[in-house]
Structure 1
Amino acid sequence: MKIGIQLYSVRNRMENDPIDTIRKVAEAGYKHLEVANRDSYNDFGVGFGLTVQQTKDLLAETGVEILGAHIVPFVEDTPLDKILEFHTEIGTKYIVQAIDFFADKDELLRKTEQYNRIGEQCSKAGIQYLYHNHHHEFLCFDGVTIMELIMQNTDSDFVKLELDTYWACRGKQDPVEVMKKYGERVRIIHQKDYTKGYEDEMDLLSHLENSPTGFEDFMSYDSKGSASVKKESFTEIGTGILPIQDYIDAANKYCKCEYIVLEQDFSVHDEIDSIKISMGNFKKYTGVKW
């Protein structure tokens, strides 16, 4: 697998100077980028106002590729046709449902119909649609996990999985078993590490199990952490407790993964320093290239 990076990892720098930030990311050794567009109604591309031509020029200058794009919001009226036009032009391979929530099973099943429509439209444009998990997809409706219901009720050609191993662990799952189960539907691995000393707080699923709609606390963590998701529980690749080599081995054995993508939600370090630490440690693993 190739080592990539989700640019959410350097989001604060991206807000200030996206072009210089991408240059610095490339200098840190990352050649395969996944963008985080959080303004999809107004910006159809990589976010932060970059035009198609600016993006193409930057890719040519730095020698990087846009492997995928997280699109937020990604709902019924998201201008998908314009998004696909932009991303087809710059060679993006994957469009990703970054996050979603489900009040009940009926809403979930309605959304799987939407995922199928989105996936088919992406497929016609030559782009693969992926669903990116957090921990709450391992809650159950009628004894079946949300993740399993998504996989059961979507077309395996149109909807595939970007498996975030960190969030799967926090949903009381073994990522290796998830990879075995979903096999070639897993196309990208998202990777971060879990801080040693916070083992007793790993389980986030129990925080939600009695209130499947009570996501407000989880959703608030983006800017400041939250009661259940502490910023300190995120650390750089190879500095925490997750068995990352096991995940790499499983992805290479069971899945059809082209990329393992760093997504650093929080760090005590400067964002560029943080991703350099992770790249240095990524290079110590086998089964990856950069």
Structure 2
Amino acid sequence: MRRASHHELRRSFRALLESRACYHTASVFDPMSARIAADLGFEVGILGGSVASLQVLAAPDFALITLSEFVEQATRIGRVAQLPVLADADHGYGNALNVMRTVTELERAGISALTIEDTLLPAQFGRKSTDLISVDEGVGKIRAGIEARVDADLAIIARTNAGVLSTEETIIRTKAYQAAGADGICMVGVRDFEHLEQIAEHLSVPLMLVTYGNPNLQDDARLADLGVRIAVDGHGAYFAAIKATYDCLREQRNITSKSSELSATELTHTYTQPESYVEWAREYMNVKE
């Protein structure tokens, strides 16, 4: 059977953006999951930054994964994927020049689209992980990413956090990113349809929402009417894989104690050892003048 080229998959993703429907992503984290998602009829997959950190490093989502490590995993997926794959490229691994490198490498890896967010990463010690860079710096990153791409069908989507901004501030940021040439706007933290409506009325580009299954946003027809083309419910498939591995290995070792049973969330916390990273941050990042 003939395989679709990377360019054809990008055109398929563009068709999703240009449609009148809302599509839900499959969490793809390795070549096998990408093949499964395509075979099951998913229209688009997503390689999450947090998932890549877990899969490649067994590390928490503290912006520890490097661009080269992320691109290596994206390349493995892109080698076999027969559905468009959207990459969560975090902050582009640095400043606007780093964003250019990120776009170049992910385009070569076969990614169909990528999000660049305006979060201040890595987070500074003692600061929230939701701190944002300035609007002007965010605009510069989007413009730099557009300049760096070779295939014009590679979609570059600007992401911001509507959950930590006022509605007015969210509108200012998203309109600025739209004016900078972003192919779409991705938002996390949208509370409900009223919140979404207030923002969407100011935008004309396609929208992408990271909802994590928010029950106040579970109406695909209404999402589509408001311009949402891509919805990310989370990465349940990946966490199910972690849980299945744990349960299988427990059974193999004949461990039947109820006290040792762990949920996927508990497993992730246990085996990424976040306390060590917090302690290292306190020791080495808490620099006093």
Provide TM-score, normalisation by structure 2.
0.53
Equivalence map 1:211-230=2 (5 Å): none
Match of 2:42 among 8, 30, 54: 30
Does residue 1:169 correspond to 2:139, yes or no? no
Partner of 1:71: 89
Identity of aligned residues (%): 6
2:201 maps to what in 1?
Answer: 180
Letter in 1 for 2:212: K
Q: Tell me which structure has the larger Cα radius of gyration.
A: 2
What amino acid sits opposite 1:71 in the alignment? A
Q: Is the alpha carbon distance of 1:243 and 1:272 closer, same or farther for their aligned partners in structure 2, counting shifts above 3 Å?
A: farther
1:155/1:30 Cα in 2 relative to 1: closer, same or farther (>3 Å)?
Answer: closer
Q: Does 1:42 align with 2:86?
A: no
* Corresponding residue of 2:224: 252
Which consecutive residues of structure 2, in runs of 5 or more, have no partner in the other structure? 1-20, 54-64, 122-126, 245-289
Shift of 1:76: 0.9
Q: Residues 24 and 32 from structure 1, CA distance in 2 versus in 1: closer, same or farther, beyond 3 angstroms?
A: same
Please point out which of 131, 155, 160 is paired with 1:133: 160
Question: What is the rounded CA distance, in whole Å, between the counterparts of 2:99 and 2:162 in structure 1?
Answer: 26
26 and 82 in structure 1: CA distance in 2 versus 1, 3 angstrom threshold? same
Partner of 1:192: 212
Return the letter of the residue paired with 1:190. Answer: V
Normalising to structure 1: TM-score of the pair? 0.52
Give the secondary-structure state (helix, strand or coil) at the position aligned to 1:95. strand
RCO higher in 1 or 2 (8 Å CA, sep ≥ 6)? 1
- Aligned counterparts of 2:155 and 2:166: Cα–Cα separation in 1: 26
Structure 1 residues 176 and 273 mapped into 2: Cα distance closer, same or farther (>3 Å)? farther
SS in 2 for 1:43: helix
Q: Quickly say closer, same or farther: Cα 1:262–1:27, change in 2 above 3 A.
A: farther
- Pick aligned residue for 1:55 from 56, 73, 77: 77
Show structure 1 runs of 5+ residues with no match: 195-240, 275-290
Count of paired positions: 199
More strand, by proportion: 1
Which residue is 1:233 aligned to?
none
1:117–1:56 distance in 2 versus 1, CA, 3 Å = closer
User: In structure 2, which of residues 99, 103, 123 is the aligned counterpart of residue 84 of structure 1?
Assistant: 103
1:108 deviates by 1.3
Contact 2:143 2:180 in 1 (8 A): no
